[in-house]
Structure 1
Amino acid sequence: MQAEKSLQNQPHTEAGTSRPCRSCKWQTPDPTDPHRGQCTANRHAMGGVWKRWLRDVENTTCARHEEGKLSFRDHV
């Protein structure tokens, strides 16, 4: 059960998702390829960010999807 919940928090491919990474506040677009990006939603216990590389921001999602913009406080 715990492994399944943890897997849902990781970015995973879901074709035609209604919650794509492109609209998530945790996604940072790749400046050279608009179909790729980075996810910064996952953090470890000390607060450090684990970046995840996204190959397809249109068909990738996770359980931590939040629409909106990342505030300054979320960066620190």
Structure 2
Amino acid sequence: MLDPDATTDDLGIDIPIPVSYPARRYPASHDFPSGPGIGERLPEFSLPNQHGELVDFHADRGESKSVVVFYRSAVW
């Protein structure tokens, strides 16, 4: 069992807050689905690029394959 006041998680990664902090806890997977499965088509969406212009994911990439990565959290 992991010490709730630890500043290193169970993977050995240094963390900025103790693992007991509510935001560090992993929710039950049935309460928070992880999203589309590997190889499953993403829903239609648009996001702003670095210039603030909206980019439509499916329209702008055409038939090119792509990888979408989301970080659960990051320390900058």
Higher strand share: 1
TM-score by length of 2: 0.25
TM-score (norm 1): 0.25
